[in-house]
Structures are given as structure tokens and as C-alpha cells.
Chain A
């Protein structure tokens, strides 16, 4: 197996008394699109900004492209591309100019026109950023992160606040990066985005990874408990079971034997959204 592009061991980060990241381990392999999924305040941005070299870890080991991001120099920065959560391109420069400006920062930049096409802004190349929609500005931002032809791309909440069609366009752009062989670490709080784009997903809640795997694994509902609920008199009963057939058989057998009514009997298989919500809510107390 080739060396991991990103490797994190026991990462912790505190701001004063508040511990934003409480022991995260993860590895991202070359060519992989990896999603860090979690609600606001889960520690996604803190984790990513430590990987980008903006913040210092309080504890733990972090290696990105084999280097400590806080000590890495220009050669390392040539190999990564960053899209921050809240940054905006210069409103007075056109799409082509913003890309040309950033191209000048790198020793071997990608061709500008090709990059414009890659992020789907062909018709807007001579438009100033102030005249672009929010989704188009974000795609320009992705273009500026790609202009140095990086091996590794960080995308912090690339579609937050987008309408559905802008989101779909951004998804196409990100899916296109996989075809270029880039390694991508993206954060999102949308389950469907992680499922749609990522090869692997880690769910982060209150500073810890509470689940990790491929979207299919995470959605492997066979291995997750089924909920059986019913009313017994005035009492609401809810049972979680990994063997729903046996449990149900036993339950109904007893009920018939004792002549009990199981009002409102329901058997629920968890869906992905519920798995996500239950994993993230119980930890964010």
C-alpha cells in the first residue's frame, strides 16, 4: 500500500477550556475522495485547518504529504490546494484574472483556460467576480485551488448555502477531480453530499470520529440495530435488536400466549439520515 496522503494520530485541539477536537485518528489514501461529515461545531474546520497548517494541534501527530503542516515550506504548498469555508475572490478581478494571479504563485501552474473549463466557468471567463453568483464564485475558488495543479485538495464545506442546482453543478466539478487523480478531503454537513462524492466517509461529532467507512458500509443497515416499538397499556416500549426476526417472534409469541395487545407495533429499519443524526446527536450534548 502506498504511503497515506494524510495521516492523523490522536489529534486534539483545545481553545482555552473548550476541546474542539478530542482524539481523531484517520488516514486518507492517494487518489481518494474522503469526506469529513458532521454537524456545525463538530470540529471539522478545526481539523482541516490543522491539516492545512493554519492551526497548531494541541496534541497528536499529523502528517500531510509526509510533512508536519506547521513546519512545511513552499515546496509543500506547491502540492496542496485549499478552498476555505468563507473566502471570496477579489470582486474587481475577472475569473481569468483571478486565476492568472494565483497561477503566478506556483512554479508549474495548470493552463488557465483548461482550469476555467474544469470548473465550468467558460462563459464567465471575462466576468468580474462581483457579477458571479455564490455558486459560481465558489467554483472560481475551486479553480484557484486547482491552478497550481496540486496532488491534494482541501474543500471546506464547498456547497453550504447553495440552491439545489448550484449544488449539483459543484458536485459535478468535484466528481471531475477524482478523474484527475487528485486526493480530496472535503468537509460537509450534508449526508447526501458525502454519499454522492466520497469514497470514504468519517462522521465527526463533538470532536470525535463516531463512524467511518465507505458510504455503502455506513449504509450497511443489516449490521445496525432495528427498532421494534409498541404500546403496552400506557407505556411506550422500544427495543433495539440486531436479530429482528427472532426478537419479533419471541415478542409476538409471548403476546399471543398472554393475550396482550401490542398497540402501534412498528418495526423500523434505520435509514442513513437517522444513523447520522443518532450518531451525531448523542455526542453533542
Chain B
């Protein structure tokens, strides 16, 4: 049986399990939608002094897509892999003829499909409810940024499981890392209102450069979409670092007991 068939097989069951888990569906799918509705309702009729002034909703659509992609990849993988590890399912899977990486590949595939789906969902809500145009001409750039970002945040999520001691610790640890970064990176608070020191600081972490790259692709300036390769490179470097740490430190056996 070819490896791709195995990955597809694993992916099908990961999808089933994902959609039946109320917690994962809420945090990955419903929560970003709710956040967008809240931000749009509270700040809807204002403009933000970014790019010479844009609608608040036009700012928050790419911001919430950024959050949704990170949620579907890093957050969801950290949670589901830690739970599978502590329940002994990763170790058990290693005892079968399936190559261990197939298990990871199925989960990563699940995350990337969810990230794509959330891109489409938030973009559609933005278009239908708030008239935020979908930049079809920038689609190649959008997909490129999304794939680099999703892959990098998957690697970071897999690496992060190495320092998570138990199922209960997974959510607090991943939130303690991501929530401050969302605030510091302009995802929740528009970056023109952030002190420049904060933005400089956030530029060194993966959330802000990913948000910037995605924003540039999604809200094209006067001269069309312009990707800042430097931002995308920072995201990719974090991703590669995550991959190396994951390869070195990822654990298949339960840590608790």
C-alpha cells in the first residue's frame, strides 16, 4: 500500500473524530467566527488608520483569518497530539506496521484542510455581511502565505507537545503563548494603536510576520498585492526551527504515569 493511501486513510478518521469533538469544533471553527462578529459589531462603523485608512471590518477579516489558521494548526495539533499521546494512542500506533509519520501526516493534513476551510468561511462572511471584497487577483499570494504559515504553525504545534506534561496542561500552555502574541501583533488591537516598541518586539515572533504577510496579500495596496518576503521568511524560519525541535524532542509515549 502506498504511503499516500495510508495518509488518506488516517486523515479520513482524523476528520471524523475532529467533527465529533465539540471542543475542537468550537475552538477551531465557531470561536473565530464569533470573534469576527464581535469585533465587527463593536467597531464596525469606524475606520482604521492603516494603509491610508480602511474600514475596521476590512482590517479584522484578515486578522481573524490569521487567528483561525493558527487555531486550526498550532492550537488544534498541540491539543490533539497531546491527548493522543497521553491516552497511549501514539505509542499503540507505533506498534503497528503503519510508519509513525503517517499518524502525524494525517493530523497535519486535517489541520491544513481546516485552515483552508476557515479561510473560505471567514472570507465569505466578510464578503456577505461586511462587504469586504475577496481579492481574487491575489489568490496565488494568499494561498502561498497560508500554506507557509499553516505548515510552520503545524511544526510549532508538534514541537510544543514536547514540553507539555499532561492533557490538562495543553490548553493553558498553548493559550499562554498565543493570546499575548495576538494582542501584541495587531490581531486583536489594530497595530496603529500599538507602541512601535511592541510591534518591533512582536516582529521577532511568528504571529506578527504571518499576520503582516497575510494582510498584505488580502488587502492589496494601490499597486496590487505586494508580499514582503522578509516577513514570510521569519515565519518559515520559525517553522523550520519547530520542525527540527519536533524531530529531536517529540515523544510518542505518555509522560504522565
Contact = CB atoms under 8 A, between A and B. Distances in A.
B92 A92 contact: no
A107 B97 contact: yes
A88 B97 contact: no
Nearest to B254: A86
Contact of A128 (B10, B20, B88): B20
10 contacts: A52-B95, A82-B95, A84-B95, A86-B254, A87-B89, A90-B13, A92-B16, A92-B20, A97-B16, A104-B9
B96 interface: yes
B95 A77 contact: yes
Using C-beta atoms within 8 Å of the partner chain, give the interface range for chain B. 20 to 34
Contacts of B253: 54
Contact of A88 (B17, B89, B93): B89
B95 A88 contact: no
B97 A148 contact: yes
B13 A101 contact: yes
Interface residues of A, number: 28
A106 B97 contact: yes
Contacts of B6: 104-105
Contacts of A106: 96-97
A78 interface: yes
Interface in A103-142: 104-107, 128
B1 interface: yes
A77 B99 CA distance: 10
A256 B95 CA distance: 68
B17 A78 contact: no
A86 B95 contact: no
Nearest to B92: A87
Contacts of A65: none
Interface in B68-110: 84, 87-89, 91-99
A104 B99 CA distance: 12
A211 interface: no
B95 A93 contact: no
Interface of B: 1, 6, 9-10, 13, 16-17, 20-21, 84, 87-89, 91-99, 253-254, 257
A93 B16 contact: yes
Given A78-B97, A82-B95, A148-B97, A88 B87 contact: yes
Contacts of B16: 92-93, 97
A41 to B, nearest CB: 14
A94 to B, nearest CB: 9
Contacts of A75: 97
Contacts of B91: 54, 84, 87
A87 B87 contact: yes
A102 interface: yes
Contacts of A54: 91, 94-95, 253
A102 B20 contact: no
The 9 closest A-B pairs by CB, nearest first: A87-B88, A82-B95, A105-B98, A92-B20, A77-B97, A104-B9, A92-B17, A74-B97, A105-B96
Nearest to B22: A92
B96 A77 contact: yes
Looking at A54, A74, A80, A104, the one whose CB has the most chain B CB atoms below 10 A away is: A104
Contact of A86 (B93, B99, B257): B257
Given A74-B97, A88-B89, 16 more contacts: A54-B91, A74-B99, A77-B96, A77-B97, A78-B97, A80-B95, A86-B257, A87-B88, A88-B87, A90-B84, A92-B20, A100-B13, A101-B13, A102-B96, A105-B96, A144-B92
Nearest to B5: A104
